[in-house]
């Protein structure tokens, strides 16, 4: 195991630069922090570039588990001190493991699953990360994003608890999705607090796949997204509450859609 003790080390400087999206994009790599998130990335088959560990003696069991998913000839494992760990971490209380991974390759051909999630301009990384985690829990593995926060944002990775690596996340437009779905049995369901149809009253056809459409935290779905919807549904709530946040609404609707698709 190699050792890095200086903040001036070029590998440390490179890792620190990945806190910014422009460097993640230009180098096609990202930071993963914490044993759990790194383990999930390895389980998902992502390619590891560097692994940093603080206090390896007290983290030997976890390091051995990570190594079980790493090729034996992989050499870029670095023992770092506390100041280096804090330099490359994005949290105030860094965990003992930080890694640099190569990004997943972009999907060349879009395919729809039984239940899909379309996210329109979701900007809070905590929201989108938690939505991805919820979607996976509801057996929704295909997630379409249009003008959303970077899925490799460190806060998003933490909010998703590593589930982001197991989902099929595709950056695309609603126009392209509608065009690709034109000859398929797919219904696009938009959320609208002013819709006439209660979400519990929504019914899909037999063998019909569904795209649940969720919009921006402050503005909801765009006009183009609403125009692409086949049906709009609302969640009835107490009149003293203006609306649910996007995470709460998507959680309720994803599990409701899963239940309906399983019974049609």
Task: Kindly report, residue by residue over 138-182, the tens digit of the pLDDT.
Answer: 999 999 999 999 999 999 999 999 999 999 999 999 999 999 999
Answer for the pair 259, 212: CB distance below 8 angstroms, yes or no.
no
| Local confidence band at 246 (pLDDT 50, 70, 90 cut-offs) | very high
User: What percentage of residues in the chain have a pLDDT greater than 90?
Assistant: 85
pLDDT for the residue numbered 261:
76
Write the CATH number for 242.
3.40.1280.10
CA distance 129 to 217: 14
**Domain final position from 76, 102, 128:** 102
Range of the domain at 246: 115-263
pLDDT for the residue numbered 262:
67
Does residue 109 belong to any structural domain of this protein? Answer: no
Does residue 70 belong to any structural domain of this protein? Answer: yes
Residue 263 has pLDDT above 70, yes or no: no
Specify whether 217 is located in the same domain as 93.
no
| Local confidence band at 264 (pLDDT 50, 70, 90 cut-offs) | low
pLDDT tens for each residue of 2-22:
999 999 999 999 999 999 999
Count up the domains in the chain and report the number.
2
- Give the mean pLDDT of 100-120: 92
Does residue 107 belong to any structural domain of this protein? Answer: no
Specify whether 238 is located in the same domain as 177.
yes
pLDDT for the residue numbered 242:
76
How much is the mean pLDDT over the chain? 94
pLDDT tens for each residue of 91-108:
999 999 999 999 998 877
Show the tokens assigned to 82: 């506390």
Is the whole-model pTM more than 0.85?
yes
196 forms bridges with which residues in the sheet? none
Of the candidate ranges 39-53, 62-76, 125-139, 230-244, the one whose mean pLDDT is the lowest: 230-244
Specify whether 139 is located in the same domain as 227.
yes
- Give the mean pLDDT of 30-37: 98
Does residue 75 belong to any structural domain of this protein? Answer: yes
- Give the mean pLDDT of 28-53: 97
Specify whether 170 is located in the same domain as 74.
no
Specify whether 83 is located in the same domain as 167.
no
CA distance 116 to 144: 8
Specify whether 91 is located in the same domain as 145.
no
pLDDT for the residue numbered 109:
84
Does residue 110 belong to any structural domain of this protein? Answer: no
pLDDT for the residue numbered 132:
98
Show the tokens assigned to 214: 């969720």
Closest to 232 measured CA to CA, from 182, 184, 175, 193: 193
Helix H, strand E, coil C: the string for the chain is CEEECCCCCHHHHHHHHCCCHHHHHHHCEEEEECHHHHHHHHHCCCCEEEEEEECHHHHHHHHHHHHCCCCCCCCCEEEECHHHHHHHCCCCCCCCEEEEEECCCCCCCCCCCCEEEEEECCCCHHHHHHHHHHHHHCCCCEEEEECCCCCCCHHHHHHHCCHHHHCEEEECCHHHHHHHCCCCCEEEEEECCCCCEEHHHCCCCCCCEEEEEECECCCECCHHHHHHCCEEEECCCCCCCCCCCHHHHHHHHHHHHHHHHHHC
pLDDT tens for each residue of 175-194:
999 999 998 999 999 998 88
pLDDT tens for each residue of 228-238:
999 999 999 88
Specify whether 90 is located in the same domain as 123.
no
Residue 260 has pLDDT above 80, yes or no: no
Show the tokens assigned to 201: 């009253």
Write the CATH number for 16.
3.30.1330.30
Specify whether 88 is located in the same domain as 156.
no
Specify whether 168 is located in the same domain as 248.
yes
Specify whether 142 is located in the same domain as 89.
no
């Amino acid at each position: 195991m190699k050792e890095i003790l200086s903040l001036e080390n070029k590998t440390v400087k490179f890792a620190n630069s990945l806190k910014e999206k422009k460097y993640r994009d230009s180098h096609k790599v990202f930071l993963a922090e914490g044993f759990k998130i790194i383990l999930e990335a390895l389980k998902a088959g992502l390619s590891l570039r560097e692994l940093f560990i603080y206090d390896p003696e007290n983290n030997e069991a976890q390091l051995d588990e990570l190594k079980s998913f790493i090729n034996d000839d992989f050499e870029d494992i670095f023992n770092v001190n506390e100041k280096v760990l804090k330099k490359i971490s994005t949290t105030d209380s860094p965990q003992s493991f930080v890694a640099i991974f190569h990004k997943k390759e972009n999907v060349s051909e879009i395919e729809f699953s039984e239940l899909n999630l379309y996210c329109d301009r979701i900007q809070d990384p905590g929201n989108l990360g938690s939505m991805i985690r919820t979607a996976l829990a509801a057996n929704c593995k295909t997630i379409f994003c249009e003008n959303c926060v970077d899925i490799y944002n460190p806060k998003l990775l933490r909010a998703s608890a590593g589930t982001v690596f197991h989902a099929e996340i595709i950056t695309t437009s609603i126009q392209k999705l509608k065009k690709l779905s034109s000859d398929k049995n797919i219904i696009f369901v938009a959320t609208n607090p002013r819709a006439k149809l209660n979400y519990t009253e929504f019914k899909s056809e037999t063998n019909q796949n569904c795209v649940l459409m969720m919009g921006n935290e402050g503005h909801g779905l765009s006009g183009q997204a609403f125009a692409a919807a086949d049906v709009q549904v609302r969640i009835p709530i107490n009149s003293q509450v203006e609306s649910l946040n996007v995470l709460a609404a998507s959680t309720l609707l994803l599990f409701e859609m899963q239940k309906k698709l399983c019974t049609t």
